[in-house]
Structure 1
Amino acid sequence: MRTPDDRIAELMAAALAGELTASEAAEWEALRRRRPDVEDEFRELAALSGRLREGDVTWIPPRDADALGDRILRAVDAEAVSRATVGTAPATPARGPRRWIAPLVAAACLAAGVAIGVSWPDPAVTTPSGPPGTLGAIEPVDLNGVPDGVGIEADLVAHTWGTETVVEATGLDVGATYEVVLIDESGVEYSAGAMLGSEVPIECRLNAAVMRTEAVRLEVRSEDRSILAQADLPEA
């Protein structure tokens, strides 16, 4: 489903390419004034775009898609055979960062009129890292009390304007409302928003007007306000 970040990505890509309409330009300027973090990322990408325009960047012809597909299938078959031979199970993939900076770096390159080959560095490596409370860093949350048949995972992202909660959930009652709440050390509650149970996996980004340094607890609540999942947050 679409999130506010999707709209930010669209506006930023159009701004980098110089293709904003009059109404989009007004929306973009208001967003930049309201969101210092967006303004900072736009300046970085604009600088990258400028360097690409000035640099000696050449076109890298894409490889044949069919040939690439054949190579991938052969690699998967070989991996399956290898695992069956040694009797090992595939490792569980690590959960990676889910920020919209990666597609926007690509947009900056396209705005500069260049193509990106497979050797281009992964922009996701620029995602900040650090202890809880580090601005922009992905902080996994260990939720307790999740009922059988329900899967809920959550990450926190500290921002200058509050705390973002990224939730992935399965097994929720279809159509039921679930609220995500952050609580500070004095017991004040800050709603990050709500989501509806769905037959398909849910991934949503919710925002609460409380700084990560002040939040000490996260709760996911059902419609009757009973706690579906909870976590005591480490000190930031």
Structure 2
Amino acid sequence: MNGESHQVLRAQLGAYVLGRLDEPECVALQAHLDCCGDCRAELAELVPVAEALAEVDPDRVSDEPAVPPGLGEAVLGRIRAERRTVRRRSARLSVGVALAVLTGTAVGYVAADLLRLPPAPLETVAVQQLAARVAASANLVPHTWGTEIKLTARGFEQGAGYRVVVTDRRGGDHPAGEFVGNGAGEIRCNLSSAVLRTEAAGFRVLDTEGRTVLAAAF
């Protein structure tokens, strides 16, 4: 995928979280998320923001949010960096997005929509520990853009890397994130996949050799 197409899909992440994309756009973005770690990471950062805003009382939020001090210079710095790293046409797209944020209009619009969203329901997931000393629990959160897994665990090997995949109902695996083991210490991970809840059948945690050490069926 060229840089221009990537930037266009990346710019749709906010609308994706809000459920404002039509079905063809959702399908295209979900396919992109399956193979783009950067966009999955950015999408994962949007999830807690949406959840936090959902807890805010709309009556106590100003209709005209103030622009934080220094935001203008920060955005201009990002624009300069974009101009050095992407082609001219992609840079113009980034400038347009940045200017919309600067005006406060986009910020107020997105915040107002998120404030009207009800908190996402938590679904308890039965977890099967397949490795000694590993103990875990998990909750599932269905979203309009995919499925989020909230994993709490201990007993993963200290310093070892693990990756998580969500399995769809056709048996295909889709990346949902990675984490590093903390031994006896507890870890809490928010893992995100573009697979919709209606299509998700479960998830697995794999070690560096591809062995399943934790699994769950939805």
The TM-score normalised by the length of structure 1 is 0.48
**Higher relative contact order structure (alpha carbons within 8 Å, sequence separation ≥ 6):** 2
> CA offset at residue 38 of structure 1?
6.4
**2:86 aligned residue:** none
Match of 1:211, as an amino acid? Answer: L
| Matched residue SS, 1:144 | strand
**1:4 aligned residue:** 45
Is 1:194–2:178 an aligned residue pair?
A: yes
> CA offset at residue 6 of structure 1?
8.7
Change in CA separation of 1:37 and 1:175 when aligned onto 2, cut-off 3 Å: farther
Unmatched 5+ stretches in structure 1: 46-125, 128-135
Matches within 5 A, 1:42-81: 42=115, 44=116
**2:31 aligned residue:** none
Deviation digits for residues 114-159 of structure 1 (CA, Å, limit 9, x no counterpart)? xxxxxxxxxxxx63xxxxxxxx211111011343321111111111
Is 1:140–2:137 an aligned residue pair?
A: no
Change in CA separation of 1:164 and 1:147 when aligned onto 2, cut-off 3 Å: same
CA distance in 1, matches of 2:151, 2:130: 13
> CA offset at residue 27 of structure 1?
9.3
Contact 1:146–1:229 (Cα < 8 Å) also in 2: yes
> CA offset at residue 229 of structure 1?
1.3
Which of 153, 172, 182 is matched with 2:137 structurally? Answer: 153
Structure with a larger share of its residues in helix: 2
Q: How big is the alpha-carbon RMSD for the aligned residues of Structure 1 and Structure 2? A: 3.7
Q: Percent identity?
A: 28
**1:18 aligned residue:** 66
**1:87 aligned residue:** none
Unmatched 5+ stretches in structure 2: 1-43, 76-96
Is 1:222–2:174 an aligned residue pair?
A: no
Contact 2:129–2:135 (Cα < 8 Å) also in 1: no
> CA offset at residue 173 of structure 1?
0.7
- Over alpha carbons, which structure has the higher Rg? 1
| Matched residue SS, 1:4 | helix
Contact 2:130–2:212 (Cα < 8 Å) also in 1: no
The number of equivalent residue pairs is 137
CA distance in 1, matches of 2:111, 2:161: 30
> CA offset at residue 165 of structure 1?
1.0
